[in-house]
Amino acid sequence: MRKPKLRELGEAIKALIKGPYTTKFPKKPAEIAPEYKGFPEFQEDGCVRCGGCAEICPTRTIERRDLIEEGKRVMFRNYANCIICGQCQLYCLTGEGIVMTNEFDKTTLDRHNIYEEIEDELVFCEACGAVITTKKHMDWIADRLGEMTYSNPTFFVYKGYEMGLADKDAGKNHPGFWREDHMRVLCPRCRRNLMFKEDWEG
Ligand code: SF4
Ligand code: SF4
């Protein structure tokens, strides 16, 4: 048998005293550099559930699910599909709705641990029932518009509900559009139809 060289012998003795160079992951959590780009995470306060990231995500990891019966939107994410590209954070509407973390290990025996969901109430068109967006999204737009919010009839009424200044039942009991329908929360399509009716049909 070939005898070990002195250097190799030295290395072996050092390893016996100091332990192995490799980490003990997954037995012990790995030390990760703060700059390491891992999985992204939704931020409860920063995300307005607009659904923009679902449009941009190249692997369809993020889905926007509108549960009409329950009146809510769920932003759903399945980590198993995520390629950690960072597009969702880069193009997030608010810039703070989803953040890349340095979390890289999603190994689990329960596949539900790889799902993430956040939700919010939906806002519907009061004429046709179509989904407009979420309450958080409406509030975010209104905050950015400031006083200009009140130049848009839908926002004017939406904020009026909050302040108890508008009647939710106004105009509910007749078909088609009437003059008082200006004071309703309408989707862009119904708002356009109402304006055309006013201008062209009198
Ligand atoms: S606010 Fe950002 S993270 Fe939230 S749904 Fe919109 S784009 Fe996605
Ligand atoms: S990092 Fe990329 S793949 Fe992962 S959720 Fe965001 S956009 Fe989708």
Distance in angstroms (rounded) separating the CA atoms of residues 148 and 134: 20
pLDDT band for position 2 (cuts 50, 70, 90)? low
Given a cut of 90, whether residue 71 has pLDDT beyond it is: yes
Query: Which of the ligands is closest to the CA of residue 101?
Result: 2
Instruction: Indicate the pLDDT class of residue 175, thresholds 50, 70 and 90.
Output: low
Supply the pLDDT for residue 70: 97
Residues 13 and 25: their CA atoms lie apart, in Å, by 23
pTM above 0.85, yes or no: no
Residue 191, helix vs strand vs coil: helix
Query: Is the shortest distance between the CB of 83 and ligand 2 below 6 Å?
Result: yes
Instruction: Go through the domains of the chain in sequence order and give each one's CATH number.
Output: 33-123 (3.30.70.3270), 125-202 (no CATH)
- The gap from C-alpha 198 to its chain's centroid, in whole angstroms, comes to 38
The ligand 1 atom at the shortest distance from the C-alpha of residue 49 is 5
Lowest mean pLDDT among 86-100, 133-147, 152-166: 152-166
Judge whether 107 and 60 are in contact, CB under 8 Å: no
The pLDDT tens digits of the residues spanning 5-45 come to: 888 888 888 888 888 778 888 888 888 888 899 999 999 99
- Rounded to whole angstroms, how far apart are CA atoms 166 and 147? 18
* pLDDT value for 198: 67
Tell how far the Cα of 124 is from the centroid of ligand 2, in angstroms: 29
Nearest-atom number in ligand 2 for the CA of 53 is 7
Q: Which of 57, 82, 93 to mutate to test the pocket of ligand 1 (most atoms within 8 A of CB)?
A: 93
Residue 35 confidence (pLDDT):
87
Interval 158-185 mean pLDDT:
71
Sign of CA dihedral 130, 133, 136, 140: negative
Residue 122 CB less than 6 A away from ligand 1: no
- Which ligand ends up closest to the CA of 87? 2
- Beta bridge mates, 24: none
In contact, 136 and 48? CB cutoff 8 Å: yes
Percent of the chain with pLDDT over 90: 46
